[in-house]
Structure formats: structure tokens, C-alpha cells
């Protein structure tokens, strides 16, 4: 139990000191000791340690990898399990998708708590006629595993375009699209299932920094793939696997959604530029964001930056308090409760102002 107060800094050290073999080894040893008791396991999960440990499995350091694997084994549970299909229920709508693995999928490897809140809100807003999903052409930004996009398909969207910037996530989304099509069964009328899939679900590469050339240049070498350094994909492999996946440059959408897409700098500015470029006129973007502090940055400031970036481009923005998950739904990992909860951000342009 004496290790508990140090779990958070040890988890942080797996990221910040990941290039320092001595410090990262010390952090792993501490986590191994902490994981010997249930509160230690809980603390590791609650501070996002599972994701960091999974990343450590890819280090070129056998001893460190062995310890990371041993800690993970002690922390078995939902966030420690490997890739696979998962089913979510939202007021009678079932969404089945595939979650991937931290090395492939970076921060989008699992569904995040705000993705679940987003789904619940989409159902409520639709029922109250505050948002029209039926027959809409929807763009999801930072899809990760795409939970909100797949729910939109269930709610009758005419087409859902999933986007992200990590090749492993795009591949994983492809697999989830296949799951949807299998679940729906063959189309008797047209007999062309793949065409139907391509019409209703698309998976594209969209990197927000690309909407903002100045930022893109400035952050190119500073921001590791996966945001927190979780994916250090080989640049050539990345270029190869996204080559045919770019979202066509001039496409715009009447409805854009995104959950948990505004955290570290420079994402707020890049996201504002992306929404500006991709939102049709008239158009609405609806985001659900946790108010999450990031090392060196306060969560509220990040959201303010996003709002400022959107307003300065002429869009109308409203920020509202969003509902939160119930306390017993928070399990650590990607379901971590933040003291200031979540907000929803409405962005409107044109007639929908
Ligand atoms: C915290 S995850 C949220 C995933 C999903 N929306 C959810 O709620 O479960 C953030 C997502 O944004 C994506 N992302 C981060 N930076 C990005 C960027 N510059 N361009 C495009 N996507 C980005 C990540 O790859 C990840 O899938």
C-alpha cells in the first residue's frame, strides 16, 4: 500500500521518461509492486496505466517488456484485454464494433467515456427533434473505434464517414464496418453487399493539422504519432497505408460529430480549422468533450481555445454542460472520471445559426 501515492507519477513516467531506461525501469518496478494489491491495480487503471503499459510492450528492452507484461497480467480486466468485438446498448439500439490495441490504435484504441455520452445524447436530441440524424450525411472526426458513427447508422443516417489519422485505427474501422454488414445480412434486392457498404460507411484518413499549414509545419516533428507517442509508426509504412484513403479535399458535411477530440495542444486550433473546412453551409457540428487537464494545460483552457478558434472563423458556438456517466460506470482506462465532467459543444453555420 505504501506504493499507492506514487502510482500516478510512475504512470506519467512511462510516457515522459520513455526514452530514459533508468527512470522508466524504476517506474515499472514500482507499478509491479503496486499491482500486488487490488487498490494498486485500481490506481494503475484509474491513471491510465494500462494504456501506457501496453505501449511499453513494444519497447526494445526485454527486461522492461517482461515487467510491463507482468503488471498487465495482474491488472487483467476490460482495459487490459486484447483487441476484439464489443457490444454496446443504447436505449434499444445495439452497436457492435471492434476495439483494437494500444500499439496499433494509440488513443483511439478503445471507446472513451465521452463516446458513450455522445451516443446517449444523440438519442435524446433526436427524440426531442433538436438534431436530425435520419437521412443525414455525417462526418465523424477522430472516430477511434467509431461508436458514435455506428450509432448514427442505426439511427438512420444515409451515410457515415469515419475519419482518423492512425492507419491501425482505419484498418480497425474497416473491420467494424464488416461486422455491421454481417449483422445486417445479405441485401436481397441488389445482391451487391460491398457496394451497399461503400455507400453507407466510408473510412478515410483525415489529419486535423493538415487543415492548418502553419500549425502542421510547426508541430510536424514535435507531435508524435498517436498524440502521446503511443504509435511510432514508420513514416513510409504510414504513407503507404493511407495513400488511397484521404478524404477528398473539397467534401463538406451538413452534420459533423466528434467525441473526446480536444485535448493536448495544438489539437484545439487544428480541430477548429478542420471543422471550418469541412462544415457545410448550413451545417452543424456537435462535439462531446471531457474537461480534462493535460500535462501543463488546464482542460477549460483547451476548450476555450477551441471555441475561440471556431468563433474567429465566423461560426456560432454554444458550450453546454453534458450529462456524465454514472459513477459505477467508470472503470478506469478510457473510462476515467474527470472532476469537471463533460461538455457538449454546438457549432453552427449559415441558416442553422
Ligand atoms: C480520445 S480518442 C476518442 C475516440 C472516439 N471519438 C471515442 O470517443 O471513443 C481521440 C481520437 O482523436 C484522434 N486524433 C487525435 N489527433 C488527431 C489528429 N491530429 N487528426 C485526426 N485525428 C486525431 C485519435 O487518433 C483518437 O482516435
**In a shared domain, residues 181 and 272:** yes
Averaged in consecutive runs of 10 residues, what is the pLDDT profile of the chain (353 residues)? 82 92 94 79 83 89 89 70 87 95 80 96 97 97 98 97 94 95 71 57 93 76 49 54 88 98 89 97 97 84 96 97 90 79 96 56
Which atom of ligand 1 is least distant from the CA of 115? 8
- The answer to whether 187 and 193 are in contact (CB under 8 A) is yes
Residues 249, 304, single domain; the answer is: yes
pLDDT for the residue numbered 193: 45
Domain boundary among 54, 80, 106: 80
Ligand 1 atom index nearest CA of 166: 25
Question: Is the shortest distance between the CB of 169 and ligand 1 below 6 Å?
Answer: yes
Q: Does residue 175 share a domain with residue 112?
A: yes
Task: Tell the residue nearest (CA) to atom 13 of ligand 1.
Answer: 142
Structural domain range at position 313 = 84-349
Do 49 and 139 fall within a single domain?
A: no
CATH number at residue 121: 3.40.50.150
**127-167 pLDDT per residue, tens:** 999 999 999 999 999 999 999 999 999 999 999 999 999 99
94 shares a domain with 36: no
| Alpha carbon of 252 to ligand 1 centroid (Å) | 19
User: Are residues 73 and 103 both part of a single domain?
Assistant: no
> Both 33 and 161 in a single domain?
no
Burial class from Cβ neighbours inside 10 Å (0-12, 13-18, 19+) for residue 181 reads middle
Q: What's the domain count of the chain?
A: 2
Q: Which three cell numbers stand for residue 304?
A: 476555450
Ligand 1 atom closest to Cα of residue 114: 8
- 307 is written with which cell numbers? 471555441
Same domain for 170 and 278?
yes
User: Among the three residues 45, 80, 115, which one is the final residue of a domain in this structure?
Assistant: 80
Q: Are residues 177 and 68 in the same domain?
A: no
90 and 71 in a single domain? The answer is no
Rg (CA), the chain: 20
What is the 3-class SS of 189-229, one letter each residue?
CCCCHHHHHHHHEEEEECCHHHHCHHHHHHHCCCCCCCCCC
Which of 80, 112, 138 is where one domain is finished? 80
Amino acid at each position: 500500500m505504501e506504493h499507492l501515492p506514487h502510482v500516478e507519477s510512475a504512470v506519467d513516467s512511462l510516457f515522459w521518461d520513455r526514452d530514459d531506461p533508468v527512470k522508466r525501469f524504476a517506474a515499472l518496478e514500482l507499478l509491479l509492486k503496486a499491482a500486488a494489491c487490488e487498490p494498486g491495480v485500481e490506481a494503475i487503471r484509474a491513471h491510465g496505466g494500462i494504456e501506457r503499459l501496453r505501449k511499453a510492450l513494444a519497447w526494445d528492452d526485454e527486461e522492461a517488456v517482461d515487467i510491463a507484461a507482468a503488471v498487465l497480467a495482474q491488472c487483467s480486466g476490460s482495459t487490459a484485454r486484447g483487441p476484439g468485438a464489443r457490444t454496446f446498448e443504447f436505449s434499444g439500439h445495439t452497436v457492435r464494433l471492434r476495439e483494437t490495441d494500444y500499439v496499433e490504435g494509440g488513443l483511439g484504441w478503445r471507446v472513451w467515456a465521452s463516446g458513450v455520452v455522445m451516443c446517449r445524447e444523440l438519442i435524446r436530441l433526436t427524440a426531442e427533434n433538436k438534431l436530425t440524424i435520419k437521412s443525414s450525411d455525417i462526418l465523424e472526426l477522430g472516430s477511434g473505434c467509431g461508436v458514435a458513427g455506428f450509432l448514427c447508422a442505426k439511427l438512420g443516417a444515409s451515410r457515415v464517414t469515419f475519419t482518423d489519422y492512425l492507419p491501425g485505427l482505419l484498418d480497425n474501422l474497416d473491420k467494424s464496418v464488416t461486422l455491421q454488414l454481417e449483422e445486417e445480412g445479405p441485401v436481397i434486392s441488389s445482391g451487391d453487399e460491398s457496394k451497399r457498404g461503400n455507400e453507407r460507411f466510408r473510412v478515410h484518413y483525415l489529419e486535423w493539422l493538415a487543415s492548418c499549414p502553419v500549425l502542421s509545419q510547426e508541430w510536424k516533428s514535435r507531435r508524435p504519432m498517436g498524440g502521446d507517442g503511443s504509435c511510432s509508426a514508420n513514416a513510409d509504412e504510414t504513407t503507404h497505408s493511407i495513400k488511397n484513403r484521404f478524404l477528398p479535399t473539397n467534401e463538406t458535411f451538413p452534420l459533423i460529430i466528434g467525441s473526446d477530440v480536444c485535448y493536448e495542444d495544438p489539437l484545439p486550433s487544428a480541430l477548429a480549422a478542420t471543422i471550418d473546412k469541412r462544415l457545410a453551409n448550413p451545417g452543424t457540428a456537435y462535439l462531446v468533450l471531457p474537461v480534462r487537464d493535460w500535462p501543463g494545460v488546464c482542460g477549460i483552457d483547451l476548450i476555450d481555445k477551441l471555441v475561440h478558434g471556431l468563433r474567429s472563423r465566423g461560426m456560432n458556438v454554444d458550450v453546454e454542460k453534458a450529462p456524465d456517466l454514472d459513477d459505477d460506470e467508470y472503470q478506469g482506462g478510457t473510462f476515467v472520471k474527470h472532476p469537471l465532467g463533460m461538455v457538449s459543444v454546438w457549432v453552427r453555420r449559415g441558416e442553422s445559426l
